[in-house]
């Protein structure tokens, strides 16, 4: 856990005021005197359409440009300017500052103008904006840090420390305020005061990346370099994505983490972003996700998190934690192009560049840029051949390109570089090897690898699904396969791939009436999955619904099935044509999938999926 977990109500109270009044109002009906009527109708309509589409796709920069154009065309219509301001912040655009001065007031305009003043070195102006921002729960959290760092920037260290005194007594976040106070004292050359504050912060060590680096640097200054290295190693072990930058991160402990007050301001916004991200993570997957009020709250939290992280990066482009968290958040919202772009813009000497490049390669893979992803990973491995995470990512990229032998080799490299006995998430390395082996027709080796992976992760639905499905495909104990698949579906009831697998094995066992509804549900949710369409077609055929079966197979052949599925679909269609022409033709060969597997009745597992 990175930070203390605040309750949902507390976090909502902190962030909802930020978005109050920002683009949630509906446009009123135009009258003959309305400024919209006198604006260029076509240009205005185009700008609004472009802005709305861009916003819906998560392209905040384009949305900001479009709504800014709309605001210029209809300057009296305040809503357009508000939307332009909102999306400028979400995009991290410098235009947000110019737009802030035109806003009717509120927390966000003062924060944006305060940040711009800080970047310009106008500390008294920054301090005034941070002080003038309306009082609300989020400003109660932020204001001590913003005032403290603005006062430090103005050279008023004693006042800066005093601004944090009361906040340091907070039972939840007091440790973080103390860390910032220690940094302010250290930056001002008050080392004895800084040492006292750092000692009071030792319980915070390692809680998040920034704090771990701050405390490690202080430990080095105290002559405890081994303890500092252990602290950083602990943080890297907790965040495997950092492995690619381990050497660069370790070098950071020998230099100050914060050298300017602006960096301290950035960390204040990053702290809020981390708090919100943790709250969203704790909420993820709960039963009330689809309730309107909860959905609105989650949307508000996500928007506020993005604004906080964007502000952190505007102030400090080298804020690696904010950059990685922003990219991860956008990826979680399926905005992969924006997630990749968020990893651009770091300084050329940023020690986290290998991490950003690795993450970009993974995002390229998600977006279907398979060859580009593989090449990026090979380039990275040229400079870091001992990085197991890079080898693992390369295995994923090659597996997605169906380069089975090369993928297997990459996963084996990653496994060999594992510095400990396989444990925890290492099941993924075994799973990757198993898929590569099975696709090369080495089923016994694949089965052994999956069973080894299940020893590490016995409740991993993907493993159970792959094992059960593959057992059916290889004609190996379909009843046992059904037990694995039922258990997988119980663990992940919303997973349509698993629902398809369970329906498929039930149908193969001859339980067509039970399996068919599952296959129909899966196809309804994933209508362009060729394997699911093929399976549903087989079920229809076995149920005597020949025309529907052929329709599903014809659909499946259009959705670019892999070579193995393509052969099966082609064979099924050829058989259907021959059957229609002459069902009694002696040369017709019934494809294996179109007849139930031969399974003794006694081997049918219990309905609850208990394994034998």
Cβ of 415: how many Cβ atoms within 10 Å? Answer: 18
CA-CA-CA-CA torsion sign (370, 376, 379, 384):
negative
Task: Tell me the three-class secondary structure of 239-258, residue by residue.
Answer: CHHHHHHHHHHHHHCCCCCC
Residue 324 three-state SS = helix
Q: Which are the contacts of 52, defined by CB distance < 8 A and separation ≥ 6? A: 63
pLDDT digits (tens, 9 = 90+) for 371-419: 999 999 999 899 889 888 889 999 999 998 989 999 999 999 999 998 7
Residues 323, 347: contact at Cβ < 8 Å? no
pLDDT digits (tens, 9 = 90+) for 469-494: 899 888 888 888 889 999 999 999 99
Q: Is the pLDDT of residue 587 over 60?
A: no
Element (H, E) at 353: helix 353-366
The closest of 396, 397, 389 to 370, measured between CA atoms, is 397
CA gap 297, 288 in Å, rounded: 11
CA gap 546, 550 in Å, rounded: 6
CA gap 498, 495 in Å, rounded: 5
Task: Tell me the three-class secondary structure of 265-306, residue by residue.
Answer: HHHHHHHHHHHHHHHHHHHCCCCCCCCHHHHHHHHHHHHHHH
Residues 88, 64: contact at Cβ < 8 Å? yes
pLDDT digits (tens, 9 = 90+) for 506-550: 888 888 889 999 999 999 999 999 999 999 999 999 888 999 999
CA triple 485-421-436, angle to 5 deg:
45
CA gap 89, 87 in Å, rounded: 5
pLDDT of residue 40: 60
CA triple 261-263-266, angle to 5 deg:
115
Q: In the predicted model, what is the mean pLDDT of residues 213-225?
A: 95
Residues 187, 160: contact at Cβ < 8 Å? no
User: Which one has a higher pLDDT value, 135 or 20?
Assistant: 135
CA gap 152, 140 in Å, rounded: 19
CA gap 150, 147 in Å, rounded: 5
The model carries a pTM of 0.75
For residue 425, name the pLDDT band (cuts at 50, 70, 90).
confident
**Exposed, middle or buried: residue 347 (CB in 10 Å: 0-12, 13-18, 19+)?**
exposed
Cβ of 517: how many Cβ atoms within 10 Å? Answer: 13
Residues 462, 494: contact at Cβ < 8 Å? no
Q: Is the pLDDT of residue 13 over 60?
A: no
Residue 167 three-state SS = helix
Residue with tokens 């051949």: 385
Q: Is the pLDDT of residue 583 over 70?
A: no
Residues 238, 215: contact at Cβ < 8 Å? no
Percent of the chain whose predicted confidence (pLDDT) is above 90: 56
For residue 6, name the pLDDT band (cuts at 50, 70, 90).
very low
CA-CA-CA-CA torsion sign (224, 245, 314, 88):
negative
User: Which one has a higher pLDDT value, 252 or 422?
Assistant: 252
Q: Is the pLDDT of residue 39 over 80?
A: no
426 phi-psi bin (left φ>0, alpha ψ -120 to 50, beta other): alpha
pLDDT of residue 284: 60
pLDDT of residue 69: 92
pLDDT of residue 292: 59
């Amino acid at each position: 856990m990175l930070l203390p977990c605040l309750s949902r109500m507390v976090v909502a109270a902190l962030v909802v005021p930020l978005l109050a009044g920002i683009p949630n109002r509906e446009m009123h009906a135009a009258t003959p005197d309305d400024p919209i009527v006198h604006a260029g109708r076509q240009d205005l309509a185009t700008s609004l359409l472009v802005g709305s589409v861009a916003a819906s796709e998560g392209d905040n920069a384009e949305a900001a440009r479009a709504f800014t154009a709309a605001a210029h065309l209809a300057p009296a219509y305040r809503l357009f300017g508000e939307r332009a301001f909102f999306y400028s912040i979400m995009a991290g655009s410098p235009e947000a500052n110019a737009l802030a001065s035109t806003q009717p007031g509120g927390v966000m305009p003062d924060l944006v103008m305060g940040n711009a003043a800080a970047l310009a070195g106008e500390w008294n102006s920054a301090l005034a904006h941070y002080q003038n921002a309306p009082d609300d729960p989020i400003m109660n959290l932020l204001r001590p840090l913003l005032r403290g760092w603005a006062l430090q920037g103005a050279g008023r260290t004693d006042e800066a420390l005093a601004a944090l005194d009361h906040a340091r007594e907070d039972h939840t976040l007091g440790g973080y305020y103390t860390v910032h106070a220690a940094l302010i004292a250290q930056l001002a050359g008050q080392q004895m005061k800084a040492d006292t504050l750092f000692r009071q912060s030792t319980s915070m060590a390692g809680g998040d990346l920034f704090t771990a680096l701050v405390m490690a640097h202080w430990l080095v200054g105290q002559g405890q370099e081994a303890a500092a290295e252990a602290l950083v190693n602990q943080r890297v072990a907790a965040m495997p994505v950092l492995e690619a930058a381990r050497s660069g991160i370790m070098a950071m402990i020998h230099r100050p983490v914060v050298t300017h007050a602006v960096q301290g301001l950035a960390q204040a916004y990053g702290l809020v972003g981390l708090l919100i991200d943790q709250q969203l993570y704790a909420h993820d997957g709960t039963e009330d996700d689809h309730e309107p009020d909860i959905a609105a709250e989650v949307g508000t939290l996500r928007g506020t998190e993005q604004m906080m992280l964007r502000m952190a990066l505007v102030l400090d482009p080298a804020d690696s934690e904010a950059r990685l968290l922003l990219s991860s958040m956008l990826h979680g919202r399926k905005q992969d192009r924006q997630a990749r772009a968020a990893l651009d813009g770091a300084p050329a000497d940023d020690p986290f560049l290998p991490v950003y490049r690795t993450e970009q390669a993974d995002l390229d893979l998600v977006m279907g840029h398979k060859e580009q992803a593989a090449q990026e990973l090979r380039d990275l491995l040229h400079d870091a051949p001992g990085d197991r995470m890079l080898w693992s990512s390369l295995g994923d990229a090659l597996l997605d390109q169906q380069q089975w032998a090369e993928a297997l080799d990459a996963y084996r490299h990653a496994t060999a570089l594992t510095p400990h006995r396989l444990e925890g998430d290492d099941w993924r390395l075994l799973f990757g090897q198993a898929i590569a082996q099975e696709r090369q027709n080495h089923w016994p080796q694949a089965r052994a690898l999956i069973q080894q992976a299940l020893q590490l992760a016995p409740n991993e639905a993907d493993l159970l699904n792959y094992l059960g499905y593959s057992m059916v495909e290889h004609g190996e104990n379909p009843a046992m396969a059904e037990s694995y698949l039922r258990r997988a579906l119980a663990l992940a009831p919303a997973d349509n791939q698993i629902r398809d697998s369970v329906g498929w094995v039930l149908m193969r066992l001859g339980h067509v009436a039970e399996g068919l509804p599952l296959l129909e549900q899966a196809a309804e949710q994933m209508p362009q999955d060729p394997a699911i369409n093929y399976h549903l077609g087989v079920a229809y055929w076995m149920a005597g619904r020949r025309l529907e079966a052929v329709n599903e197979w014809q659909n499946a052949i259009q959705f670019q099935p892999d070579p193995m599925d393509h052969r099966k679909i082609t064979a099924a269609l050829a058989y259907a044509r021959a059957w229609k022409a002459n069902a009694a033709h002696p040369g017709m060969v019934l494809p294996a999938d179109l007849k139930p597997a031969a399974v003794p009745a006694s081997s049918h597992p219990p309905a609850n999926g208990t394994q034998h």
